[in-house]
Structure 1
């Protein structure tokens, strides 16, 4: 997965690891503060981003503390992220917010980004007839508009992940599989369902998916586990 490129900068490859488990982490947003390039890594924890030596990269992911590094002369960078939360066997949740409530909250908190990032219709109709909306064009091509739309994409991505988390919970998976602790974490990471499956699946479908995945997991616990990076040492 490639991100935006800047003039006089070269593509830097990287991988994101969990500090405790040493496993790769996906769904991580990587951002270059020097050129505003950014985006999510792929399902193998890998990313490519335009950067130069001295640029500062930031990695952020749900459930982890943000990590920062300075690009060196090497063409490969490695993030090692610390979890901000810990998985325990029993969790009591009070007044859990729905994905829709969280999305509305984010939209209210970042309302400026939505107003600046929404270009609206490029064509306008006025007293002299139809024409091109200069304001809409400006929002499409301006750096402010691009950054606002990037923030919108992050918020929408967070919403989709929250929808999955809302139904594919540790309590549910543990009750269906009997798994606990790090084994539960490993299983849920490897067999996390897609957003579109969760939208269409009822409770029976979801439980059936979990049980079917458990059979495959027990046959080969590492079948979908992201492999370690072989050619470089984590910093």
Structure 2
């Protein structure tokens, strides 16, 4: 984009006995427009939320997904007589947007369950193992138990699971580390 800018300067000078008027015209071409300042988005800083608080915040944020995914009790019987049919829930049950909404709800619920399990699992592994760094990280990720196990198990069952997992980890640490590493990315130049 080419911008044409003309600035007119009119100056008056007084000479000894005469009045003269001089006019100057200055024209420049600008190839680009530049901004003097940068706008930075506002950043909100909040304390770390628990898994339950994050799950509830996500429910509020994506409330339309929970509305579209609701297909429970489309038909209700009135105790005074009559039947009520909710057409929105029937549509939601058979529509593609309803199925996709229920699928996303399951993803949110799985993430919530995993976060709850990690909140119980990571302190337990720190207490019962002497691993540090990458070894601790790989152990925690590779042997992460099912979501319902840690909530329902007694302390001795948890200790038994950690001890068995440590035995397996010590026997095959190199293989576990190799499996947990990200694959190496080969650029087109290397091929």
For the aligned pair, the TM-score class normalised by the smaller chain equals 0.5 to 0.7
**1:166 aligns with one of 114, 119, 123:** 119
Higher RCO structure, 1 or 2 (CA under 8 Å, sep 6+): 1
Match in the other structure for 2:22: none
Q: Would the aligned equivalents of 1:119 and 1:136 in 2 still touch at CA under 8 Å?
A: yes
Consecutive unaligned residues in structure 1, runs of 5 or more? 1-93
Q: Which residue of 1 aligns with 2:148?
A: 196
Distance change >3 Å, CA 181–CA 149, structure 1 → 2: same
- Contact 1:190–1:225 (CA under 8 A) maintained in structure 2: no
Number of the residue aligned with 2:99? 146
SS at match of 2:118: helix
1:123 matched residue in structure 2: 75
Shift of 1:176: 1.6
Picking from 203, 221, 225, the partner of 2:173 is 221
Where 2:76 maps in the other structure, the secondary structure is strand
* Aligned residue number for residue 128 of structure 2: 176
Q: TM-score, normalised by structure 1?
A: 0.49
Match of 1:79 in 2: none
Match of 1:157 in 2: 110
Q: Larger radius of gyration, structure 1 or 2?
A: 2
Counterparts in 2 of 1:99 and 1:201: CA distance versus 1, 3 Å:
farther
How big is the shift at 1:139?
0.9
Q: Normalising by the residue count of structure 2, what TM-score does the alignment of the two structures yield?
A: 0.59
Query: Is 1:104 aligned to residue 56 of structure 2?
Result: yes
Cα RMSD between the aligned structures?
3.0
Greater share of residues in helix: 2
